[in-house]
Chains A and B, each alone.
Chain A
Amino acid sequence: MLELLQTLCRIDGVSGCEDAVGDYIRAWVTPYADSVTEDVMGNLLCYKKGVRHSGRTLMLAAHMDEVGLIVTSITDDGFLRFGTSGGIDEKVLLGTRVRIGDVRGVVGVRATHLNTPEEEKTLPEVRAMYIDIGAASKEDAEKRVQPGDFAAFDNEPMFYGDMLKAKAIDDRVGCAVLMKLLREGPPVDMWFVFTVQEEQGLRGARPAAYRIRPDLAIVVEGTTAGDIPDVKGAMKACVAGRGPVIPMMDSATLYDPVLVQRALEIAERAGIPCQTKTYIAGGTDAGAISRTAGGAKTLGVAAAVRYIHTPASSVAVADLEPMYRLVRTLCENAERL
C-alpha cells in the first residue's frame, strides 16, 4: 500500500480536474471490480461482490481530488495570477514549486527591498501573489498555459524518520485503502466510490450517494493532526502514529454515535490501535452522503495527517496498515454496525 500511496500522490488532481487520478484508478481497479461506472461529475463507482451479502447497501468513499491552485489570468509580462481550489493557508504558498501539467513554476515572492515596513509584518493576499513559469512574455506564457488551468504542488514523496511526506495524502490515502480492499476482495458485497470535488464543498459525493442509496457509508479520509510543538491536550485533534482516527464529529457531520461506539469496540476486539478526534474541525463527504435522498448512516476512518493541505502533508507509515485493517474489519462486521 505504501508504494500505491506514493504513486497516487504523484498524480495531479486538483478539485475540478481529477481526470488523471480517475483514469489511473479506473485502469487499476477494472480487473478486480464487478462493475466500474463513471458518472457525469467524474465520480468512479465500483461494485464488487464479497464473500457474502450483508443485507444492506454498504458504500466506502474516498475522494480523488486535492487542494491546489487555478490560473485566473496572465499578466502583461507573462506571470500567472491564480486563485485557490480548496482550503489552503496562503502562508504555505510563498516560494512553493507548482506544476500545471508539464509546465513547472514557482509561486513568486516580492523582493524584500520592495516591502514597506508594514508589508514586512504581514502576508500578501493570494490575489497579490503570482506563479512564475519563467515565460519571456505574455505571448510565451499563453503558448503554455491558459486561464482555468489547474496548478498542483510539485514535489516528490519523501520519507523522513517514521513519516512519509507527499502532497495530496488527503485523500489518496483513502483511495489506496479502497483500492487494496477491492483487489484483495471485500468480505461483503459493497460499493467503492472515488469522489470528485470534495475539497470544493463535498460536491461529488451527493450524486454518487443518490445513485447508490447506501444504508451505511464509511468515508475513508485524511484528517488534520495537530501533534506539533506547543499544542496541548484536546487541541492536537489527533496524533500521527497512534493509529487510524474514528471521528465522532467534524464541522460537516455528526457520525452516527451508536456506530462510532460499535466501531471503537470492534477495533479494540481486533487489537487495532485507533484514536478519536479530540477537536471538532474539518469536514468530509459524509456530510453530503448522510443527507442525500432519505439519508444514510455514516462512519469515518481517517489517517492522522500533519500539515494537511500543504505540499508537506505527512502521514506516519506505521498508521497505514492498521488503517487498512480497520476498514477491512469494519466491513467484515457490517451486520453488527
Chain B
Amino acid sequence: MNYIETIRELAEITAPSGFEKAVTDRLAELCKPYASEITLDPLGTLLVHKKGSGKKTLLTAACDTSGFIATYIDDDGFVRVGELGKCIPSACVGLPIRFQNGTRGVIGCDGGVEVKDLRARHLYIDTMGETVRVGDACAADLPTYASGDSIVSPAMNRACCAVLLDVLQRYTGDGDVTFAFTAQGMLGGRGASPAAYAADAERAIAVELTTAGDTPESESRSKVKLGEGAVLPVSVGGTAANLGLIAELEACGVTRRAVDERGQSALLGLQGVRAGVRACVAGIAARYSGVMTIARVSDMQQTAELLLAAL
C-alpha cells in the first residue's frame, strides 16, 4: 500500500468528530474487497469484519479529526463555534478551515483578549459571506504532504486508519479480526466502547498516535523518538494497558515501551466492555498535536508488520 497517497486521500476528506460519514464511506469502499461484512454502528463507527476460525481480535483506529461545529451565526455572518476535540485556541487563530458543505473560512478571534486568556469562545469563523447553517461542521483546510520519510498532516489520525487498511489488505491468517474505524475519537475515544461491544473480541489493539518527546525542551517524560518503530505505551493518560498483551506484541517485532501522558485514547473504552477485554495501544510516534502533526511512514509500516505478526 502506498501510505503517502492513502493518507493524503483520507486526510483531505473533511470529517471531524461526530461527522465521520464522509470518511467512513470512502473507507468502506477501500475495505470492501477484503471484508466478510461491513456495518456502521449507531455512533458512526465503521466495523469491518474479516471472518476467521482463530482468535478474535479487534483493531481500532479513530477516523475522525478535531474540528469545530457552528453554534451561532451573528448578524454580520461571523460564525461562533464549539470544539469537536480540544483545540489550542492560540494555534487556531488564522487557521484556514473548510466546512463539509465546501464553504471555506478563516478563524479569527475577539479583539482585546490576551493570548494566555484565549479560549474557544473567543474564536469565530469568517466565511466571507458564504453560507453555513448552525450545526454544520468544519476542520482545518491544510494540505497533507510528504517530506522524505515524514508525513505532515492536519489529520494524522487517518494514518492510523491507513495502518488498519494495510493490515486488512495483507492479512491471510485464520484469525477472526474486526477492524473498527471509530467515531468521536477526539471527543475522548467515545466510539471505542460500542465498537468493542459489537466485536466481542478476546483482545483489542488500538492504533493511535503517541506523543513524541524528541523535540527541544520537550515536556514529555517519555523520550519517544520518530523513526524507531511501533511504540507500546504501558499507560496512556493514566489508563494502564494490558501487560500480557504488550508482551505478546513485543515477541512479534521491534517495539519500544513508553508512558504516554496525553488523554485521548480508546484504551479506557475498550477494556471495560462486557466482562473485560485485554487491550493495549500500538502507537505511532507523532510530533505536535496543535495543527500540523509529523509522523514517519517507516513507523506506520512497522506498526502494520507488528500487527500482522501478532494476529
In contact, B17 and A276 (Cβ under 8 angstroms): no
In contact, B43 and A233 (Cβ under 8 angstroms): no
- What chain B residues lie within 8 Å of A248 (beta carbons)? 69, 71, 82, 134-135
In contact, A249 and B190 (Cβ under 8 angstroms): no
B-contact 0/1 string along A242-283, CB 8 Å cutoff: 000000110000101100110010000000000011111000
- What chain B residues lie within 8 Å of A161 (beta carbons)? none
- What chain A residues lie within 8 Å of B197 (beta carbons)? 293-295
Is the CB of A297 closer than 8 A to any CB of chain B?
A: yes
In contact, B194 and A257 (Cβ under 8 angstroms): no
Interface size on A, residues (CB 8 A): 24
Interface of B is mostly: mixed
Is the CB of A19 closer than 8 A to any CB of chain B?
A: no
From A235, A257, A290, A293, B135 is in contact (CB under 8 Å) with A257
In contact, A291 and B80 (Cβ under 8 angstroms): no
Given contacts A234-B80, A293-B197, contact A257 B19 (CB under 8 A): yes
- CB of A304, distance to nearest CB on chain B (Å): 15
Is the CB of A149 closer than 8 A to any CB of chain B?
A: no
Given contacts A233-B74, A235-B121, A280-B83, contact A291 B135 (CB under 8 A): no
- CB of B80, distance to nearest CB on chain A (Å): 4
Q: Report the Cα distance A73→B194, complex, angstroms.
A: 41
Is the CB of A215 closer than 8 A to any CB of chain B?
A: yes
Is the CB of B137 closer than 8 A to any CB of chain A?
A: yes
From B42, B134, B269, A296 is in contact (CB under 8 Å) with B42
Q: Report the Cα distance A257→B138, complex, angstroms.
A: 13
A-contact 0/1 string along B72-83, CB 8 Å cutoff: 101000001011
Is the CB of B265 closer than 8 A to any CB of chain A?
A: no
In contact, A279 and B82 (Cβ under 8 angstroms): yes
A-contact 0/1 string along B185-215, CB 8 Å cutoff: 0010010011001100000000000000000
Q: Report the Cα distance A249→B121, complex, angstroms.
A: 15
Q: Given known contacts A215-B42, A276-B135, what 7 new A-B pairs fall within 8 Å (CB)?
A: A233-B74, A254-B17, A254-B184, A257-B137, A290-B43, A294-B42, A295-B198
